[in-house]
Amino acid sequence: MNRPSVKRRVLALCTAAGFGLGLGFAALPAQAEAFITVLTGGTSGVYYPLGVALSNVYGKALPGAKVTAQATKASVENLNLLQAGRGEIGFTLGDSLSDAWKGNEEVGFKQKLDKLRTIAAIYPNYIQVVAAKESGIKTLADLKGKRVSVGAPKSGTELNARAIFGAAGLAYKDFAKTEYLPFGESVDLIKNRQLDATLISAGLGVAAIKDLSSSQEITVVSIPAELVQKVGDAAYIAETIPAGTYPGQTEAVPTAAVRNLLVSHSGVSDDAAYAMTKTLFENLDALAAAHVAAKQIKLDQTATQSPVPLHPGAIKYFKEKGLM
């Protein structure tokens, strides 16, 4: 059975959310449903548990909506799906979003994704380079000649790997072996001594890293602030992974971070985007209960910053909160 039209879906959503429409459309049949597909990431990352929590929040707050969370390959796939109208809201990294808006074919965007519209900037992704302690890897330079996983091909993580390793003077050909794997599979290979290190771009407290560090000693490799500057992209900022984030990690580790965003598209009505934005920020406790990374989502000026235009519905909400 096909989905109802966008107009019918959006009207049903907004009616259920209790927002006045004032659009002059005729009343809809009571059975008209709104569909909200939340595009997430791999199940061993942070996007997925947060996306499931967000879908639960939307399902409860917007009773007329049929909400699902969809596991994906994360940023690049999410943005292409949104451009095609195959989802209503999705997670992405800021640098991937910038590339999508430019139509950077090299990283997976065959044309400018001009339908994308931002809902909100949320928490930062920490670029976490993790190695088995027994590998002897202590610095990024030590990765040369080692077996390294750089994330799923053309995912947000893999784009981060290109940027960070490039700034460090490393190319994939410098590794003894380069694997393009999601978090969980990368960790499994390290456990089985088939891999020495992996780069993971996610919020702090990644389940896959916790799993690895509880089974063997690890080294969280430093990414110095001066190297972050060498990346030459404003999306990358210097950050710190606090001591004790993972079992056995006794010291704070300098690293890079990239802001995550929630993105929609121009085919979603202003009223629906307003409802999704408002519901997001009114339920941050529920998201934080799903994953610690969500504790860093703030309703402040940073939430409005994006390399692509904000959705008019989101603008309406931020204006109500005095942020625009």
What b-and-e string marks burial along 117-139, b requiring 16 or more CB atoms within 10 Å of the CB?
bbbbbbbbbbbbbbbbeebebee
- Alpha-carbon Rg for the chain, nearest whole angstrom, is 20
Q: For strand 253-265 and strand 116-132, is the pairing parallel, antiparallel, or unpaired?
A: antiparallel
Helices H / strands E in the chain, number of each? 11, 10
- Rounded to the nearest 10 degrees, the angle between the axes of helix 270-281 and helix 6-17 is 40
Amino acid making up residue 15 = T
The pLDDT value recorded for residue 233 is: 83
Of the candidates 87, 88, 86, 111, the one whose C-alpha atom is nearest the C-alpha of residue 101 is 111
110 burial class (0-12, 13-18, 19+ CB within 10 angstroms)?
exposed
Tokens of 60: 């409860």
What distance in Å separates the CA atoms of residue 216 and residue 132, rounded to the nearest whole number? 8
Residues in the chain: 324
Phi, psi (deg, nearest 5) at residue 87: 155, 155
Q: Is 313 helix (H, G, I), strand (E, B) or coil?
A: helix
Q: What is the pLDDT of residue 34?
A: 82
Please give the domain boundaries of the chain with CATH numbers for all domains. 6-122+261-320 (3.40.190.10), 125-258 (3.40.190.10)
DSSP string for 200-225: EEESSS-HHHHHHHHHS-EEEE---H
Other Cβ atoms closer than 10 A to 88: 27
**Helix intervals (H) in the chain:** 6-17, 47-61, 75-83, 94-102, 156-167, 183-191, 207-215, 225-230, 270-281, 284-290, 312-320
Contacts of 144 (CB under 8 A, 6+ apart): 170, 174, 175
User: Which regions in the chain score pLDDT beneath 50?
Assistant: 1-33
